[in-house]
């Protein structure tokens, strides 16, 4: 195996949902499956067993359906309730206003990987797992990727999708530390609002509850953003005390919080690089890591994959990469800006917070504005 040279048209480094979706879209756009390779450091079994909850917008569901990766096990979101703790005013988005079966769906990371991996297998896409890119050498007509097992992959275009070694930080990157940590868990409640998701803004950051699993709607995926020092203490709390503090932060709209899974935490920040060279390009989390507010990260990445596949389907070349960067600029800028403002504007106290609460109330009353926000969350900038 060591010293073997493999040749492809497109190499995708990272076989998470965005990388897999790109490979599947490429086949749909006319690139032969055997000319595409997915490279990932994890085994497929490891990826499928990942239990993380993810939110798919209606637009993302349409993209997955196009490549045969939908339907899959998921909980539909019929309504999204947005509020500011301690302030009057809220906004409610409803699927009926848009004539859709759902505004989005909540599923597990592993479910999406499994569905997309099967779509890529049916399309004949080559897969190298587990394998990592140790180094790369870009030339005028392609890229040589040196793998950690000694093999070399020669490709016309290399795509960084959630991994790889050619993703070093760029001084021109847009970065921001939110001074927040997200605490992640699954919780159950005593009085569920079936198929309703909640985005609750607190002084420390947003608190999201996404309906997941079971027809009775008692279980929710929790993303609770707070100051890093508090997150450390919250992780150490016993379950009863944790649920009590969660109830104080969220309120009583769902009755009592009755149970919680093991909790994990990760720091939050904005890192928007949108890097590309003549023969390499980054998409998904490799190009932009967003605050989880509004759950836009994966949805933005899937739109990256669809557009890049469209351009590469017209010809695997440096021109296709340039066309992709131009085509994605507005959607990326708008989505990154929207999540950044939402992550910062509602944090802390001060006289501006009542105005933000009033803004939510106004949004609820002005249907065109509410429809526009929901459309951006479901489809991005079209």
Closest of 108, 54, 38 to residue 300, by C-alpha: 54
Count of domains observed in the chain: 1
Residue 375 resides in a domain? no
User: Do residues 230 and 204 make contact, with C-beta atoms less than 8 angstroms apart?
Assistant: yes
Tell me the average pLDDT across 70-98: 87
Tell me the average pLDDT across 81-100: 84
Whole-angstrom distance, CA of residue 347 vs CA of residue 342: 9
Mind listing the pLDDT tens digit for each residue in 132-145?
Answer: 999 999 998 999 99
Give the DSSP H or E segment for 140. none
**Residue 185, SS3 per DSSP:** strand
Tell me the average pLDDT across 240-257: 96
pLDDT at res. 201: 87
Closest of 376, 341, 336 to residue 359, by C-alpha: 341
**pTM passes above 0.85:** yes
Mind listing the pLDDT tens digit for each residue in 273-311?
Answer: 778 999 999 999 999 888 888 788 899 999 999 999 999
Residue 300 resides in a domain? yes
**Residue 71, SS3 per DSSP:** coil
Q: CA-CA distances (angstroms) from residue 362 to 233, 280, 349?
A: 37, 45, 20
Range of the domain at 27: 5-75+106-172+270-343
pLDDT at res. 368: 73
Residue 192 resides in a domain? no
Closest of 264, 179, 292 to residue 227, by C-alpha: 179
Residue 49 resides in a domain? yes
Residue 359 resides in a domain? no
What CATH number is attached to the domain comprising 43?
A: 3.50.50.60
Residue 29 resides in a domain? yes
Residues whose CB falls within 8 Å of the CB of residue 183, separated by 6 or more in sequence, listed in order: 222, 223, 224, 225, 226, 231, 234, 235, 263, 264, 265
Residue 228 resides in a domain? no
Residue 372 resides in a domain? no
């Amino acid at each position: 195996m060591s010293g073997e040279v493999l040749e492809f048209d497109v190499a995708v480094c990272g076989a998470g949902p965005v990388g897999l979706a790109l490979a599947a879209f490429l086949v749909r756009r006319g690139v032969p499956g055997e000319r595409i390779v997915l490279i990932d450091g994890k085994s497929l079994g490891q990826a499928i067993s990942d239990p993380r909850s993810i939110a798919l917008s209606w637009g993302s569901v349409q993209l997955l359906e196009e490549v045969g990766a939908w339907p899959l096990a998921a909980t539909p979101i019929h309504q999204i309730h947005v509020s500011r703790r301690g302030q009057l005013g809220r906004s409610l988005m409803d699927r009926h206003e848009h004539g859709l079966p759902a505004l989005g769906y909540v599923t597990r990371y592993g479910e999406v990987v499994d569905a997309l991996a099967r779509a890529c297998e049916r399309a004949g896409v080559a897969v190298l797992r587990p394998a990592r890119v140790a180094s790369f050498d870009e030339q005028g007509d392609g890229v040589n990727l040196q793998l950690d097992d000694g093999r070399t992959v020669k490709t016309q275009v290399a795509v960084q999708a959630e991994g790889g070694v050619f993703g070093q930080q760029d001084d021109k990157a847009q970065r921001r530390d939110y001074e927040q940590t997200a605490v992640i868990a699954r919780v159950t409640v005593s009085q569920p609002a079936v198929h309703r998701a909640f985005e609750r803004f607190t002084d420390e950051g947003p608190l999201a509850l996404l309906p997941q699993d079971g027809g009775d709607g008692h279980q929710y995926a929790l993303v609770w953003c707070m100051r890093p020092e508090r997150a450390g203490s919250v992780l150490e709390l016993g379950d009863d005390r944790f649920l009590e503090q969660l109830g104080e932060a969220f309120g009583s709209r769902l009755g009592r919080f009755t149970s919680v899974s093991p909790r994990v935490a990760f720091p939050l920040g904005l890192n928007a690089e949108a890097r590309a060279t003549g023969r390499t390009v980054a998409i998904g989390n490799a190009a932009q890591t967003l605050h989880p507010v509004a759950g836009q990260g994966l949805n933005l990445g899937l739109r990256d994959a669809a557009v890049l596949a469209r351009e590469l389907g017209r010809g695997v070349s440096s021109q296709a990469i340039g066309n992709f960067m131009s085509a994605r600029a507005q959607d990326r800028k708008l989505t990154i800006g929207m999540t950044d403002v939402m992550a910062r504007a509602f944090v802390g106290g001060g006289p501006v917070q009542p105005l933000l609460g009033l803004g939510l109330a106004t949004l609820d009353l002005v249907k065109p504005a509410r429809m526009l926000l929901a459309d951006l969350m479901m489809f991005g900038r079209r």
